Structures are given as C-alpha cells and as structure tokens.
Amino acid sequence: MNSTCTMTYVEAAIAALREEMQRDASVWALGEDLGRGGVFGQYKGLQNEFGPARIADTPISEAAIMGAALGAAMTGTRPVVEMRFSDFALCAVDELVNQAAKARYMFGGQARAPLVVREPVGMWGYLAAQHSQSLESWYTHIPGLVVLAPATARDAKGLLKAAIRCDDPVVLLEHKNLWPMRGEVANGMDALTPIGKADVARSGKDITLVSWSAMVHECLAAADILASEGIEAEVIDLRSLWPWDEEAVFASLRKTGRLVIVQEAVTTSGFGAEIAARVAETCHSDLKSPIQRLGSPRVPIPYAPLLENELKVSPQMITAAVKLSVRS
C-alpha cells in the first residue's frame, strides 16, 4: 500500500498510536490527563477505544511515570510515556538518564527498555520559562537514547510508529506549534519513517540549510524568499537527531559548499554545535565559507510576546545568514 491522505500533525500522531496499539497488544500509554485526550488532543478518543488500562491516567508523579515505564518496558510491554510539556520531563531525569538509557549496557545486554518518551517542545502560546524549552541536546548527549524530532505530519506518524517498534528508549520531541499543521501522510500499517534518515525537504545547489522540528518550516520560508532572489537553498530536515544522518548532510555540503544550521534551542552547546563540529572534521575542504549556526541566545524564555519574539529565529535572520555566507 502506498496511498496517502491529508491530515494534521496531531491527527497523524493519534493514528500512529492507534495503529500500533491495534497491531501489538503490549503497547500502552501512560501520563496525566490522557483520558481527556491529553493537553493537546494527541490522545483524543483513544481511552474510549482501548480502555483505561492501556491509555492510563496517572497521578502527577513524573518520576513514577518514567520509572514505572522503565520497569514495565523491561517486563515485556512497550510503554508510551507522556510528559505533557518537555519541561516536566526534567522531574524524571534520573529515571530516564541514569536508569532507562543505561539499563541495556549496564546490565551487560540482558535488558531492553523499549519505551517512548513523548515530549511536547518549543515556544508556543507564550508560556514563559518553564513551559517552552527545547532541550534536545541534553538527550543527544546521553548514550543509549534515540532522539527524534518530526517536522511534518508524515513523520509525526511515521516516527512515532518507528519509535514504538524500537527496542531502545526513544525521546520523541513533538513541537507544540506543529499540532495543527496539515500534510500528506502515508497510509499503511508499516509506513514507518526510518530512524536515522534525513529528508531533503527542498533541493538546491547554492547553500545547505540543516534543521529539524518547527524550524524546518522557517528554513523553507527562507528558501522561498531566497529563490526569488536567485539563491537556491537546499533544506535538510534531519528528523532523527540520534542517530543522525551525517551522510545526507555531507553529501549536500559537497554540492553546495556552504552551511547554515538552524535550531530553536539555545545555540550554545546545542545540537547544531555537534553538526558543525562533524562537518568541520569531515568536510573541511568542501567548505567555501564559515559554517553558521542560528538559534536562541542563551536566555531563559520570557513571557511577553515581544520579548519571546526576540529569541526566535525568523526567515529574515536565515536569509541574512545565507547572504553573508554566499557573499564570502
């Protein structure tokens, strides 16, 4: 089956979980307020369909949610953990980082922890410092974790399905701004997005823009503007941050020789730094101009819209960076 249909990112996420729960009786989800459909409607209708044991409401107990999911994952089930806002996952960092991420290795390969941690990320709705963060680089730093960040409805579905089938703990970052975004989604129980493969969201010969999650769309908007000025930007949507598709980035760079990395997270020590370092180590002779990184300054996220907007990367900032690169 290779037909497609159009749906929103949130509908795609619901469909993914529904299909995987139909396919595999060991899949279940746990988190706060899931019975009501989750904070963003990403569990809508599922408790009616699968019952409260498989779409489980929990106490406000993030450490127990994560720890219990690990225990259940090592005991023959595939839990999908809902953390509500990525910021609250920090209440369960021990359970994820010291426990789940290390269980397989530390126990000499005896354990598997097939759990998915869903974390809604990013600036959305002006919710300030404790409800808006993008902390992907915390997780890419941790051996044992898979880190995914879908930017489209297609990958919201395809990556959640792939994550559920993955035998290692996966952190799946779903951007709050993307829930209503529509896109073409592949039908079919086995229409997975492969983990570790980037998508060339737009091809071009003059410069490579590498991004993930919501910032992919800012890059595409910038590429439109640039095209009208005669600059052809290639936009790579990484989709997976660990493992990440180095080869896709290197191949694009060999063609364009120029690179701008765009992320919503704080630039300092962000995942963009890892990409820049690998490119510098590997493709130095292909580079025609210095690598640039765009992201948030190292500032907690403020509440007032006008202040929050100061931190966001805009298409205009991307086009400015591109022009700087193309001119040098």
Partner 1 sequence: MQKPEYDAELVHALGGAGLLTDQKNNPDIERLKDHYRQMLRIRAFESEAVRAIADALVPGFIHPSIGQEAVPVGVCAHLGRDDLLLSTHRGHGHTLAKGADAEAMMRELFGREGGTCRGKGGSMHIADFSIGMLGANGVVAANITIAAGAAHALKLRGKNNVVACFFGDGATNRGPFLEGLNWAKTFDLPVLFVCEDNQWSATTKTSAMLAGPGPLARAQSFGLAGTSINGNDILAVDEAAKNAVASIKNGGGPHFLHCRTYRHGGHTGTDPAAYRDAAEAETAMRDDPVATCAQLLRKADISESSIRAIEEEATAEMRRIKDNASHAPWPDKRIVYEDVQDLGAVEAGR
Ligand X SMILES: Cc1ncc(C[n+]2csc(CCOP(=O)(O)OP(=O)(O)O)c2C)c(N)n1
- Supply the Cα-derived Rg of the chain in whole angstroms: 20
Q: How far is the CB of 115 from partner 1 (least distance, A)?
A: 20
130-133-139 Cα angle (round to 5): 120
Q: Which amino acid belongs to residue 232?
A: E
Which of 108, 109, 143, 306 is in the footprint of partner 1 by CB under 8 A?
306
Closer of 87 and 206 to ligand X (Cβ): 87
Closer of 84 and 154 to ligand X (Cβ): 84
Closer of 109 and 305 to partner 1 (Cβ): 305
Question: What is the C-alpha end-to-end distance of the chain, expressed in Å?
Answer: 48
230 binds partner 1 (CB under 8 A): no
Report d(CA 172, CA 82) in Å as an integer: 10
Buried b (16+ CB within 10 A) or exposed e, 302-322: beeeeebeebbbebeebbebb
Q: How far is the CB of 299 from partner 1 (least distance, A)?
A: 5
Which of 4, 18, 26, 58 is in the footprint of partner 1 by CB under 8 A?
58
Q: Which amino acid belongs to residue 161?
A: K
218 binds partner 1 (CB under 8 A): no
Residues 6+ apart with CB under 8 A from 244: 140, 196, 198, 238, 275
Report d(CA 256, CA 288) in Å as an integer: 8
Report d(CA 99, CA 80) in Å as an integer: 16
Closer of 28 and 88 to ligand X (Cβ): 88
**DSSP track, 67-134:** HHHHHHHTTT-EEEEE-SSGGGGGGGHIIIIIIIHHHHHHTTT------EEEEEES--SS--TTS---
Is the distance from CB of 239 to CB of 150 less than 8 angstroms?
yes
Where does this chain bind ligand X (CB under 6 A)?
Answer: 32, 60, 62, 84, 88, 91
250 binds partner 1 (CB under 8 A): no
Q: Which of 131, 141, 217, 284 is catalytic?
A: 131
State the binding partner of 186 from ligand X, partner 1, none, CB within 5 to 8 A by kind. none
- What mask of x and - would describe binding to partner 1 in positions 259 to 298, judged by CB under 8 A? --------x-----------------------------xx
Residue 239 CB neighbours (<10 A): 28
Report d(CA 313, CA 270) in Å as an integer: 14
93 binds partner 1 (CB under 8 A): no
- What mask of x and - would describe binding to partner 1 in positions 15 to 34, judged by CB under 8 A? -----------------xx-
Q: How far is the CB of 92 from ligand X (least distance, A)?
A: 9
Closer of 62 and 136 to ligand X (Cβ): 62
Q: How far is the CB of 65 from partner 1 (least distance, A)?
A: 11
- What mask of x and - would describe binding to partner 1 in positions 126 to 155, judged by CB under 8 A? xxxxxx------------------------
Report d(CA 164, CA 24) in Å as an integer: 10
Is residue 131 among the annotated active site residues?
Answer: yes
**Which of 153, 81, 78 lies closest to 118, judged by CA?**
81
Which of 108, 109, 143, 305 is in the footprint of partner 1 by CB under 8 A?
305
Q: How far is the CB of 162 from partner 1 (least distance, A)?
A: 30
Q: Which residues are catalytic?
A: 131
Binding site for partner 1 (CB under 8 A): 32-33, 35-36, 57-64, 87-88, 91, 125-131, 267, 297-300, 302-307, 310-311
